[in-house]
């Protein structure tokens, strides 16, 4: 059962359920829709996933440990800030119907936005340290970004990783439900294919 929450703080018009409607709301009210709904859960998870990638890529460079720690800190700060913004945007799209409209929109837009900034930050870091680790690190990060955005959207549609929402749970309850949601996410393509196949079979039988 969901925890009791004071819903007065969420008193605002419901988020639209179409991609153009959500985009319009975000553009017209970025402070209220994005900054005030900065998603700290997504921020923490994003930093926890990305910063270690940069740490290990830079670890094997000259002066590896020093550079690795620096890259870790830079990426952690960036991902805490930008991951929370991404989480707020993804949460805004969680009610879009049909769901595939959001699936085809969120990963592409957010991955493009975040990695333009990420590449710029790592280019500056490399120029200051005299190494070149950004290409491999950002390449790995891009692959994770698409999967991460899809998973966050999948999880948020099921009530996980929400903040400043009447349906939100504590981070601990989110983590307890995470393994089951992750399994659903991994098996979703197979489940979807099976449902479609059964639906076509039923149509033929009738």
Residues 91 and 165 sit within 8 Å (Cβ to Cβ): yes
- The pLDDT score that the predictor gives to residue 62 is 72
Residue 8 lies in a domain: no
Residue 97 lies in a domain: yes
Task: Write the CA distances from 25 to 18, 31, 52, integer angstroms.
Answer: 11, 11, 35
* Number of domains, the chain: 1
Mean pLDDT by runs of 10 across the 206 residues of the chain is: 45 79 92 92 92 90 84 93 93 90 84 87 88 83 86 92 86 92 90 76 65
Compute the C-alpha angle 193/199/205, nearest 5°: 135
- The pLDDT score that the predictor gives to residue 203 is 65
Compute the C-alpha angle 198/203/206, nearest 5°: 125
Residue 82 lies in a domain: yes
Compute the C-alpha angle 86/36/38, nearest 5°: 30
Residue 7 lies in a domain: no
- The pLDDT score that the predictor gives to residue 88 is 93
- The pLDDT score that the predictor gives to residue 204 is 64
Distance of CA 135 to the CA centre of its chain: 21
Residue 5 lies in a domain: no
Residue 2 lies in a domain: no
Contacts of 46 (CB under 8 A, 6+ apart): 79, 80, 82, 83, 84, 86, 87, 148
Residue 158 lies in a domain: yes
Residue 88 lies in a domain: yes
Domain that holds residue 29: 14-205
- The pLDDT score that the predictor gives to residue 5 is 47
């Amino acid at each position: 059962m969901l925890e009791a929450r004071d819903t007065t703080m969420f008193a605002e018009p419901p988020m639209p359920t179409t991609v153009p409607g959500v985009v319009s709301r975000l553009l017209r009210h970025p402070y209220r829709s994005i900054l005030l709904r900065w998603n700290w859960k997504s921020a923490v998870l994003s930093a926890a996933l990305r910063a270690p990638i940069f740490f290990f890529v830079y670890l094997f460079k000259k002066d590896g440990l020093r550079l690795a720690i620096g890259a870790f800190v830079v990426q952690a700060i960036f991902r805490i800030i930008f991951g929370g913004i991404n989480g707020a945007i993804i949460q805004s799209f969680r009610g879009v119907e049909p769901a595939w409209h959001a699936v085809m929109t969120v990963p592409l837009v957010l991955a493009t936005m975040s990695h333009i900034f990420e590449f710029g930050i790592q280019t500056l870091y490399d120029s200051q340290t005299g190494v070149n680790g950004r290409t491999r690190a950002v390449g790995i990060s891009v692959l994770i970004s698409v999967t991460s955005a899809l998973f966050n959207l999948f999880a948020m549609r099921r009530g996980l990783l929400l903040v400043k929402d009447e349906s939100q749970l504590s981070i601990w309850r989110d983590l307890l439900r995470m393994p089951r949601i992750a399994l659903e996410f991994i098996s979703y393509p197979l489940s979807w294919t099976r449902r479609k196949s059964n639906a076509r079979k039923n149509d033929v039988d009738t």
